[in-house]
Structure 1
Amino acid sequence: MPSVTENAMTLWSWPLATARWNSDMVEMMMGAQRVIAARLPTIVAAMQNPIAADHVELNRMVSEKVGAFNASGESVTAAGGAVHRAADANARALGHMASGRILWAQDWMRLAERNLAAMAALAALPTATLAPLRSGVKANDRRLRC
């Protein structure tokens, strides 16, 4: 779990991370075009003669995508968990205040930390979801260029 300082730095550097994400997205899309172009002959050969097809490469095409999208989904789940925890804490605090109880300084600090963690998780989400997809494309692009 990131510290308060790390969460604050994530929010502080969000514009730079967004610019890097845009660059990473373009790089991934260009690499994906090369990977698709390199794999099309394998797919065509498999359609023409399924018995003699390169089943290892065909299986790899599917398993790599499933693994990358699973890792990407896990980052979405983690960010959703941070937002859910912050929303629950905010609702509990609102319930305490509505019932006439006082929130002390440490209660406000915990709320602020949870909300900061939720905002940082959402700010880091585009990069976290793209990273496994981008690394898979880069690895395939390097491997298939030979």
Structure 2
Amino acid sequence: MIDPFTAWSRMVAAGLQMQTNWLRGMETLQASHSVIDARTGKMRDAASAPMQADFAEFARMVPEKVEAFSRSARAVTRDTLAMHGAWTAQMQRVGLMMLSGRVPTLAETSALATHSAEYALGAITASARLGGSALAPVHRAATGNARRLKRAKR
């Protein structure tokens, strides 16, 4: 039997993780805006004086995005595979009970209900974690660039 207090605390933790993901998403958007603004200025300056252009900054633009989004894709793949593994295990439990050829006992039904509740809680927390792990590399790159470009501007 699943403990209702543990279930509640896991639901609250998942909700807090989703709020954190939202806040990090907003930070990423703000940082992206400042990075785009700074780099657009550098491109404008490079158009008028190509010999004084910041080519090191321009050379960072594509590789950093490829790196951040590759890390994000790896995190999404890892977490999605784990979620699919949990779903497969749950469907095997349900399938075994359905294919047993008899009415399940009270103990079997109780065990399935406990596993189902545990699976549902795990799916919710895994979904919240998936969003955070997908956003983390992009957030790190965007906010790092924003800080670096802000220091360079001074």
Q: How many matched pairs? A: 141
Structure 2 unmatched runs, 5+: 1-6, 102-106
1:106 Cα deviation after fit: 8.0
* TM-score normalised over the length of structure 1: 0.73
Relative to structure 1, the CA distance from residue 116 to residue 16 in structure 2 (aligned partners, 3 Å threshold; closer, same or farther) is closer
1:86 maps to 86
Tell me the equivalent position of 1:131.
Answer: 136
Q: Which amino acid aligns with 1:31?
A: A
Match of 2:100 in 1: 100
Percentage of identical aligned residues: 30
Aligned-partner SS, 1:145: helix
In the TM superposition, residue 42 of structure 1 has moved relative to its aligned partner by 3.0
Q: Which amino acid aligns with 1:33?
A: H
Residue 68 of structure 2 is aligned to residue 63 of structure 1: no
CA distance in 2, matches of 1:113, 1:25: 29
Alignment gaps of 5+ in structure 1: 1-6
User: Which of 132, 147, 150 lines up with 1:142 in the alignment?
Assistant: 147
The amino acid of 1:96's aligned partner reads L
Query: Whose radius of gyration is greater, 1 or 2?
Result: 2
**Distance apart, 1:8 and its partner CA:** 8.4
- Relative to structure 1, the CA distance from residue 91 to residue 55 in structure 2 (aligned partners, 3 Å threshold; closer, same or farther) is same
Other structure's SS at 1:141 match: helix
Question: What is the aligned partner in structure 1 of residue 25 from structure 2?
Answer: 25
Are the counterparts in 1 of residues 75 and 130 from structure 2 also a CA contact under 8 Å? yes
Give the whole-Å Cα distance in 2 for the aligned partners of 1:56 and 1:81: 38
> Does the residue aligned with 1:100 lie in a helix, a strand or coil?
coil
Query: Structure 1 CA distance, aligned partners of 2:94 and 2:19?
Result: 37
Moved over 4 A (4+): 7-10, 45-53, 101-116
Does the C-alpha gap of structure 1 residues 99 and 83 become closer, same or farther in structure 2, counting only changes over 3 Å?
Answer: same
Displacement of 1:133 after TM fit?
A: 1.1
Distance in 2 (alpha carbons) for counterparts of 1:94 and 1:106: 11
Q: What value does the CA root-mean-square deviation take over the aligned residues?
A: 3.3
Q: Distance in 2 between matches of 1:36 and 1:125?
A: 27
**Hey, what's the Cα distance between the residues in 2 that align with 1:85 and 1:54?**
48
Ranked by relative contact order (alpha carbons within 8 Å, sequence separation 6 or more), the top structure is 2
Deviation at 1:56, TM superposition (A): 2.6
Supply the distance in 2 between the matched residues of 1:139 and 1:25 (Cα, whole angstroms). Answer: 14
